[in-house]
Amino acid sequence: MIVLKSNRSPEELIARWDDRLNPARFAGHDDVLDLVFCGKRKGNKIMLMRRTGVSREPLSSIFRGKIVGTAEGSEIRGFFTKSVTEYVCIGVILALALTIFLEVKKRYTEISWMSVAFLILFLIAILSLLRTGKRTKEKYIDFLKDIL
10 shares a domain with 31: yes
pLDDT of 8 higher than 60: yes
- pLDDT tens, 54-107? 555 567 788 999 999 888 889 999 999 888 888 888 899 889 988 888 887 787
74 shares a domain with 108: no
24 shares a domain with 8: yes
Which position has the higher pLDDT, 28 or 38?
Answer: 38
CATH code for the domain of 139: 3.30.310
67 shares a domain with 101: no
77 shares a domain with 10: yes
Q: Which of 8-12, 27-31, 56-60 has the lowest mean pLDDT?
A: 27-31
Alpha carbon distance 99, 55 (integer Å): 32
124 shares a domain with 64: no
pLDDT of 147 higher than 60: yes
Report which secondary-structure segment, H or E, holds 9. Answer: none
Report which secondary-structure segment, H or E, holds 18. Answer: helix 10-20
- pLDDT tens, 115-128? 778 888 888 888 88
Which position has the higher pLDDT, 136 or 94?
Answer: 94
Those residues with Cβ within 8 angstroms of residue 49's Cβ, 6 or more apart along the chain or in another chain:
37, 38, 39, 60, 61, 62, 63
72 shares a domain with 25: yes
* Predicted pLDDT of residue 49: 84
43 shares a domain with 67: yes
* Predicted pLDDT of residue 148: 84
Of how many residues is the chain composed? 148
Question: Number of folded domains in the chain?
Answer: 2
12 shares a domain with 65: yes
74 shares a domain with 6: yes
Host domain of residue 19: 2-82+132-147
123 shares a domain with 68: no
108 shares a domain with 57: no
